[in-house]
């Protein structure tokens, strides 16, 4: 990943290769990659040093105004869901707890990893937590459960003008395989066939009092990821889908 130097950057990818950020303006008479077209390389991450999120502990996030991840009414405990869901939303939200971890990496910590996961069984640990690791010039983002996520963002605000470049390999999410949503290994649209997979407890409307398995089945409704997105708030991190759709300004997704 390379950074050519302006906004906030979020990357949500299953597998990452080197990337970069570049900046403008730059001298046109040389100065490294991108200089010929007026850009100057200011940061890059080849992922040749080992990254292992397991070194950073999971911590509970209670949402609300004291949380560093509090943004607005579309937050996981936001007023929007109180309005459309009523008292049933608070009852459903109380059935689970959100855990997060965050750490900087790369030269002078120019990138930050943000991971989030859900604890639904109440044992004080995230259920099927995601992970971020790297070795040999490749970073791997693994998200075994659809209620969890990984985001890689810039640690500091981007300048007014910038370019971001990255290379991705080995994407393995949903979509058809050979023209079918049912995969030879038993998965359905990228999801395992076991248990229910729904958008519980955040939706844009409907009956919030429904049991979890009676909410929209994401296996037949959607499965996707963001190659890269530009968001309109500072501490970019995993949030509910309604929140993400309300705050993305530029998105390249699949």
The pLDDT of residue 123 is above 80: yes
Summarize pLDDT for 157-213 with one digit per residue, the tens: 888 888 888 888 888 888 888 889 999 999 999 899 999 999 999 999 999 999 999
Would you tell me how many other CB atoms lie within 10 Å of the CB of residue 46?
17
Model confidence at 19: pLDDT above 70: no
What does the alpha-carbon distance between residue 6 and residue 137 come to, in Å, rounded to a whole number? Answer: 27
**What is the pLDDT averaged over residues 105-111?**
93
pLDDT, one tens digit per residue, over 32-44 is 554 557 788 889 9
Q: In the prediction, which pLDDT does 2 show?
A: 46
Contact 252, 227 (CB under 8 A): yes
Helices (H), the chain: 79-85, 87-93, 218-221, 241-247
pTM (2 decimals)? 0.86
Each residue's pLDDT tens digit, 205-249: 999 999 999 999 989 877 777 888 899 999 999 999 999 999 999
> How does the average pLDDT of the chain come out, rounded?
85
Residue 130 to residues 33, 85, 105, 146, Cα–Cα distance (Å): 34, 28, 17, 9
Mean pLDDT of 117-135: 93
pLDDT in the model for residue 220: 86
| Average pLDDT of the segment spanning 45-56 | 93
Strand partners, 16: 139, 168
Q: Are the beta carbons of 150 and 135 closer than 8 angstroms? A: no
């Amino acid at each position: 990943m390379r950074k050519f130097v302006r906004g906030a950057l979020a990357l949500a990818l299953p597998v990452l290769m080197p990337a970069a950020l570049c900046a403008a303006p730059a001298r046109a008479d040389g100065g490294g990659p991108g200089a010929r077209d007026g850009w100057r390389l200011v940061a890059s991450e080849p992922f040749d040093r080992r990254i292992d999120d397991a070194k950073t502990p999971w911590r509970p996030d209670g949402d609300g105004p004291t949380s560093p991840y509090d943004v607005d009414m579309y937050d996981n405990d936001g007023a929007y869901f109180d309005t459309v869901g009523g008292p049933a939303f608070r009852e459903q939200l109380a059935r689970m707890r959100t855990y997060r971890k965050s750490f900087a990496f790369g030269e002078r910590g120019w990138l930050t990893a943000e991971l989030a996961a859900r604890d639904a069984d109440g044992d004080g640990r995230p259920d099927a937590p995601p992970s971020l690791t790297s070795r040999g010039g490749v970073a791997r983002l693994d998200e075994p459960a659809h209620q969890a996520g990984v985001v890689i963002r810039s640690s500091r605000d981007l300048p007014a003008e910038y370019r971001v470049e990255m290379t991705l390999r080995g994407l393995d999410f949903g979509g058809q395989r050979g023209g079918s949503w049912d995969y030879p290994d038993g998965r359905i649209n990228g999801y395992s066939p076991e248990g229910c997979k729904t958008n519980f407890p955040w939706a844009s409307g409907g009956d919030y009092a429904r049991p979890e398995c009676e909410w929209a089945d994401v296996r037949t409704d959607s499965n996707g990821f963001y190659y890269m997105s530009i968001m309109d708030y500072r501490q970019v991190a995993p949030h509910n889908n309604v929140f993400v759709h309300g705050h993305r300004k530029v998105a390249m997704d699949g």
